[in-house]
Amino acid sequence: MTFFLTKDLKVGYQQRIVVDDINIDLSRGEILCLLGPNGCGKSTILKTIIDHIKRLDGSITVLGKDLNVLSNKDRAKEMSIVLTEKISPEMMTAEEVVATGRYPYTNHFGKLTDEDWKIINESIEIVDGQSLRHKEFKALSDGEKQRVMIARAICQESDIMVLDEPTSFLDIRFKIDLLNILGKLSLDKNKTIIMSLHEIDLVPKIADKVLLIKNGKIYKYGTPEDVITDEAVNEVYDLNSGSFNTIIGNIELPRVIESPKVFVVGGGGKATKIYRALNKKGIGFYSGILFKNDIDYNASKTLAYKTIVEDCFVDIKPKKIDEAKEYIKDCHAVIDSGVSLVGINKGNYDLLRFASQEGVKILSLRDENAEYKLVKYHSISSMIDNIVDYL
């Protein structure tokens, strides 16, 4: 049986529909991420689910029971909430804020039992908040406050957790920690989690289902593997320049339009930083010879003026080598990223040797000595500065 269900849900304000026809079906323990540009209605959907905003039409049910029939206290037992609005409780420690998550279970006097305190302590430990316990909540950083509010939601022991942009204000360590926590709550405690995220690259790593929203409509709903594609992201976010690669989670700015003056010999992930550094300086470049499965390929395809590509797991063919040599003849410099030059990569060795014979300057990040003439660098930044001066 479907655990959480919305059917033909319409959300908005004072009869003005913000998002129309929202149909969600979640099993117990699944994680749903709402994804879309700013102002698309993600927060409005979440606030309607938690009844902070009255639905305009449609239904929201848990195990077939409409949430509208639940009292506030019973709803709090079913659903815990972490919103983006900042709270400023006066004279309360972090521990006391977390403890408010137990109030749906206390008696009329609000007295906390030993069992309540056990749950409070476990919730604080889950978010690694022991050091924050006795600090005044108002004195905490935004990231620390977010961790405390997550602990409060965990402490509430509801079947459903609703979170609005929970990774906001968090550095990379705590983003990873938080998503790991939510994943474990889903798997170990069978909690159903509904949240909005801005980080497209994180969604496939955590979500079971995705609701992709554009212009007041559900663009697509389903698993992230089916929903999050390059085409969908470009259309939903109206990317007129630059690109987002959903396979590797890379955002790339538009390539420079200057005629190429440099040829980059890359591969094995050694050249992507070079591509970006050249693009930032407005230096157009050719790139190759890369295999289609190479880690540098996607960035090169986006940023290079031309990428010479070979099929996977084969020796580089003479035709590709000859094509690259023609581009090298037109360049002022060749960058040797330090890629391996043996095995199926031997063709790139032929390119560097050719550049040396043609008198084209070779700037190299290679550690070992080479048989061709080159100028060695120990950092990309110093090499790029030299290219700027040279060109």
> Is pLDDT above 80 for 282?
yes
Contact criterion met (CB below 8 Å) for 328 and 308: no
Give me the pLDDT at residue 85, please.
59
Residue 334 DSSP SS3? strand
To the question of pTM greater than 0.85 for the whole model, the response is no
Residue 16 in tokens: 């003005």
109 falls in which pLDDT band (50, 70, 90)? low
Sheet with 16-26, edge to edge strand ranges: 16-26, 4-13, 57-62, 65-66
Give me the pLDDT at residue 131, please.
94
Residue 63 DSSP SS3? coil
Q: Which residues are CB-contacts of 46 (< 8 A; sequence separation ≥ 6)?
A: 34, 83, 162, 164, 194, 195, 196
Residue 42 in tokens: 């993600």
Calpha distance 300→306 (Å, rounded): 8
110 falls in which pLDDT band (50, 70, 90)? low
Contact criterion met (CB below 8 Å) for 351 and 325: yes
Q: Which residues are CB-contacts of 206 (< 8 A; sequence separation ≥ 6)?
A: 31, 33, 179, 182, 183
What average pLDDT score do residues 303-317 get?
Answer: 95
289 prior amide bond cis, ω within 30: yes
86 falls in which pLDDT band (50, 70, 90)? low
Domains along the sequence of the chain with CATH: 4-245 (3.40.50.300), 253-389 (3.40.50.450)
Calpha distance 5→13 (Å, rounded): 22
Output phi, psi for 87, to 5 deg.
Answer: -100, 155
Calpha distance 210→24 (Å, rounded): 10
Task: Share the mean pLDDT of the chain.
Answer: 90
- pLDDT tens-place string over residues 161-181: 999 988 877 888 888 888 988
- Could you give the percent of the chain with pLDDT greater than 90? 63
What average pLDDT score do residues 120-137 get?
Answer: 92
Give me the pLDDT at residue 84, please.
60
From 15-24, 83-92, 95-104, the region with the lowest mean pLDDT = 83-92
Which of 249, 246, 217 lies closest to 232, judged by CA? 246
- pLDDT tens-place string over residues 360-369: 999 999 988 7
Residue 96 in tokens: 């006391």
Contact criterion met (CB below 8 Å) for 78 and 158: yes
Contact criterion met (CB below 8 Å) for 19 and 217: yes
From 172-181, 229-238, 346-355, the region with the lowest mean pLDDT = 172-181
390 falls in which pLDDT band (50, 70, 90)? confident
> Is pLDDT above 80 for 1?
no
Distances (CA, A) of 210 to 304, 333, 345: 33, 46, 40
- Does residue 145 or residue 56 have the better pLDDT? 56
Give me the pLDDT at residue 310, please.
96
